[in-house]
Structure 1
Amino acid sequence: MNRRRLCLGAAVIALVLPLAGCVTVHGERANVPSVREDEAARVLANFAAVNNRVGKVYDAGGIGAVEAGALGTTDEAGLRAKHANHPDGNADFRPLAFSDSRYLIPRQVGWPKYFVADTATNRATGARWLLVFRRSAAGQPWKAVYVASVATADVPKFARDKDGYAVALGLSGTDLLVQPGQLSADYATYLGGSDAGTVFAAGPATSQLRSGRSAHAQNANSVTQYADQPAAGGDFTPVALRTADGGALVFFASHHQSRATFRAGYKLAIDADTKALMTGTPRTSVTLSHLADEAVTVPPAGGSGRAVFLSRVVGLVSARGE
């Protein structure tokens, strides 16, 4: 029998096996890998199995077994809306499958811990998914909290320590252009109209989104107001991994609300999924609340580089009519 197995217990995170015997290294105090690679592979396989089971029948209550944070919130709302409109499930469901999976496992002290699965899927040709799994404490399940779909050519090269482990960065005190813990707030401020061009590169999720809002804020039938707020704390806490170029890939979330007020007599057209999530009666206004799940590369401070969005997945989580 493998000597490691002789020492495994419910609270054991990692083991050191000196000649004298087995010594437990506790994950809350020691700087240890967040997960073994074989366990990470089982976590990813279980994620696919549960997603396939709940996706086929639109089981919103079941997704919480493997998802939380930004990913879990948006998927739960989406499944709830789909189930309301298709109570018999999805007759055209195509099972999710992963291949060529790799794992970015950092050394970490304390809880929570996380790792990233970098994997090809049957849902995104020419792209890879980066799934962030977080575990809140020993004995608790691993849950996916962020997902990014990134073109294969754009997946960054990650820094590794001397033993091949990924390098985790903290929320503050780094050498980056913007601290990972500040990124969501800076993004919300930027979308609100602040000139944060020194932080974010131009693109669909930044300059184009902001100009598009301005262009559609008012027309003959409606006036739309926007409000953006950071998402932080708990399973919305950002995750940052050092990249080989000295920067980082940061996963974070943000809240976005729009309120459209319509002219008297205007006939509102609301899609079925939005109706399923709506409270109140939409007579003259509709307020939509979205949650965004984002991944950006952040360069080191002191240069001319800017934070670049690699992925932005946005989901409707609630709606209100008045």
Structure 2
Amino acid sequence: MQRGLNPFLTFLFATLIVMFTGGPVILSLIGSVVPDRILLDSSKALFSEGLNFETYRYVFTGQLPDSYLAETANRAMISDAARQVPQSLLNSGIIAFSSMVLNLLIGAPAAYVFARYVFPGKKLTFMFLILSPLVPAVALVTPVYIMLQTLGLVGTQAGIILVHTAKALPFTVLILSVFFRKMPAEIFEAAVLDHCSRFQTFWRIALPLALPSVGATGLFAFMLSYSEYMFSMVLSGDAATRPVSVVMAALARNTDVSWSLLNTAIFIAIVPTLVLVVFVWRFVVEGLLSGAVKG
């Protein structure tokens, strides 16, 4: 009989995980609603003056916080980059969602073919696809930029979407091919006996069975695109097409920026990912664990 884990050790490790994963989110939330004069003054309690949402008001409306309207206030602590956060969130949402959709439209059929069929060059192409992420991204920046510049896609969302799709596609194909390979062969043999074509077998049988896995893979493709910085920085244009990762980097490089404003921008940038994880968590858990609990 297998012995269970020590409850104390389980609680200890769970606490450490929560601290390292949820701690930064909680700290950014607290820092966004506490003014700088309180954050930087160790003699005052954090909430001695209550909650302050002036930095949120500035990010969404552009109205300066009252503490910076005084004549002696340091206006350099208020960065214009924070005003780009709402638009950059929309840009990142469009880019990440489009990249996720393209990944699933291309990656799911490709993974199914790699998992269920034999064709010339299968091993070579699969290994090339899977090993391609090992190439350092910095080595690809210049050729990718030249290629997209030739196509007239530099400074557009379409160019960033194509690059993010290409970066996440090997991961999508690898994960989904594992789940398609684990499906019982009898199901597909029955589909052939019922005169289903290859596309019908994929669309009506394989895809519905792999839906949790597809949801989990789509979520990770979304997150990879949402958090990607290097290609987004090089390929993005003005503020109208700039993703949130680029805006946050520009905000963080300002050494004089208000800590409260910086934490506000960080928390706003985190919120969409938190909401997304809450809504699709069921698919993530089922998709990642279905192969481990069935067999």
**Higher share in helix:** 2
**Higher share in strand:** 1
More relative contact order, 1 or 2 (CA 8 Å, 6+ apart)? 2
User: TM-score, normalising length from structure 1?
Assistant: 0.25
